[in-house]
Structure formats: C-alpha cells, structure tokens
Amino acid sequence: MKSVLLIGLGRFGRHMAAKLQELHHEVLAVDKNEERVNDALDLVTHAQIGDSTSEAFIASLGVRNFDLCVVAIGDDFQSSLETTALLKEQGARFVLSRAARDVHAKFLLRNGADDVIYPEKQMALWSAVRYSSDNVFDYIELTPEHAIYETQVPEPWVGKTIVQLAVRQKYHISILAIKRSGRLEPLPGPDHTFQRDETLLALGSNRDMQKFLHL
C-alpha cells in the first residue's frame, strides 16, 4: 500500500482517486473547490480544501511523507506548473503531473515533474491503433518502437503449434499469453496449438507487428 497525494479533483482526478481506492492505497485529495472535495469524500482516505499554488499550504501537507504526488489539474496550466514546482521544492519523492499539450509536458518536466501523463494524447494513440484494425482488441505501448497487442489468431495459424510456426524466428514477435473464454494462459509452451476462438497477446516492434497483423 502506498500513500498518495492527489491534487485536483476534476474528472481525471476523480477517476484516479476511485482506482487508487480500489487498489487499497491511502489517498489525500486536495482541491480548491469545496464542492469537488465534498463529492470525493467517499473515494479517498482524507480530503482537504486548499490552494496548491500557496507555498505555505503545500508545506503544511508534509509532501515528503507521500510515496507519490499527483498533480491532476487539467484546466489551469499555470496552477499545475506552480504546484509541480512547489512539490519538488518541498521534497516530494515522485511527482506525476498531468499535461494537456506537448509544450505543457516539456515545461512540467523542466520544473519538477518526474513524469507526465497526457491522457488525451495517450487515448488518441490507443484509439487509432485499436480501431484502425479489425483484428486488434487491445494495445499497450511499451516504448515508441515496441508494444503489446491483443489480436485474434491468424487463420493460417489455426491448428498449428508455436514451434511448427517458428513464431519468433519467422515473425520476430513473442507470444506472451493466450486468452480463451475470458481465461488467460500466460507464456504458452512451444507445443500450444492455436484455436480459432482464442486471442493472443504478442510483443514485438511496431513494424513487425504490423506485418503480422496483415497475415
């Protein structure tokens, strides 16, 4: 269990608070809007009304005691930037800040953020990959060049084993798991025989995965 300071209770902040609670983390949520704070009381361990651009207020939170500080302010970049910088100045261990534009991400990283999350861009990229192909059911980018794809078993693979197909040698991808009827089989062995009603989770470079998807 981690202790998390979550600043900003808009839509993004509320969704994050709910998931952190589901994962059994301790969350102190902060927002300057009293209504937002009251609405989030059932989602977090503690909640406070306050101005995160105030150095005195940030100092009063004891940010050094939190494993993670999240700046989830999405509608006021100046406040997000100031809050990020103040958290780092007060000794925050790890600051994750939300960006709404590429230039925002650059400034946040230069001013104290250890990492940034850019929800609109990340969801747009995921949607482009997911819905531009009839065969892709999920997609997780690991680096700009590599990703994990969940895709249906290619018709030419049905009834054949991994070793028969020489998957890694011929296609330069790795089969991480097989899904069938909602159940996951991690790291299938070389003798696994592909079935038509399965989906597979494959890791590879984007170039190799695109070739594979067009089998």
Tens of pLDDT along 143-178?
Answer: 989 999 999 999 999 999 999 999 999 999 999 999
Average pLDDT on 200-206 reads 95
pLDDT reported for residue 126: 87
Average pLDDT on 80-107 reads 95
pLDDT reported for residue 173: 95
Measured CA to CA, the distance from residue 177 to residue 184 in angstroms comes to 7
Cβ atoms of 87 and 69 closer than 8 Å: yes
Give backbone dihedrals phi and psi of 167, rounded to 5 degrees, phi first: -55, -50
Whether the pLDDT of residue 134 is over 90: the answer is no
Measured CA to CA, the distance from residue 198 to residue 180 in angstroms comes to 5
Strand residue runs (E) in 12-169: 26-31, 46-49, 68-71, 95-98, 115-117, 136-141, 146-152
Whether the pLDDT of residue 215 is over 80: the answer is no
Domains and CATH numbers, the chain: 3-117 (3.40.50.720), 122-213 (3.30.70.1450)
pLDDT reported for residue 196: 93
Which pLDDT band, with edges at 50, 70 and 90, does 191 fall under? Answer: very high
Average pLDDT, the chain: 94
